[in-house]
Amino acid sequence: MTTEPLTGTRCADDNPHLVVAGTPVARYVLAPDLDATHGPRPYLHPVRTLAGVPVTDALPADHVWHLGASLAVQDVDGTNLWGGRTYVRDVGYTWRGDHGRIVHAGWEHRAADRLDHRLHWCDPSGAVLLTERRTLTSSALPAPADGMSDADPEGAWRLEVTSTLTAPADRDVTLGSPATNGRPGGAGYGGFFWRAVAEGEPEVFSDSSTGEEQVNGGDEPWVAMRARAPGGAAYTLVFSGLRPGDRWFVRTSMYPGVCVAFAFEETVTIPAGSSRHGRYRVAVADGALDRATAAALVGGAS
Q: DSSP letter string over 205-234?
A: EESS-BSHHHHTT---SEEEEEEE-TTS-E
Lowest-pLDDT choice from 2-6, 217-221, 251-255: 2-6
What value, to the nearest 5°, has the Cα angle with vertex 274 and ends 269 and 280? 75
Section 104-125 average pLDDT: 98
As a whole number of angstroms, the longest Cα–Cα distance in the chain is 56
- 221 contact partners, CB below 8 Å, separation of at least 6: 207, 240, 242, 298
- For the chain, give every domain's residue range: 17-300
How far is the C-alpha of 19 from the C-alpha of 1, rounded, in Å? 23
The stretch 239-260 carries a mean pLDDT of 97
pLDDT reading at 41 higher than 60: yes
Q: Write the pLDDT tens digit of every residue in 146-182.
A: 434 444 446 899 999 999 999 999 999 999 999 999 9
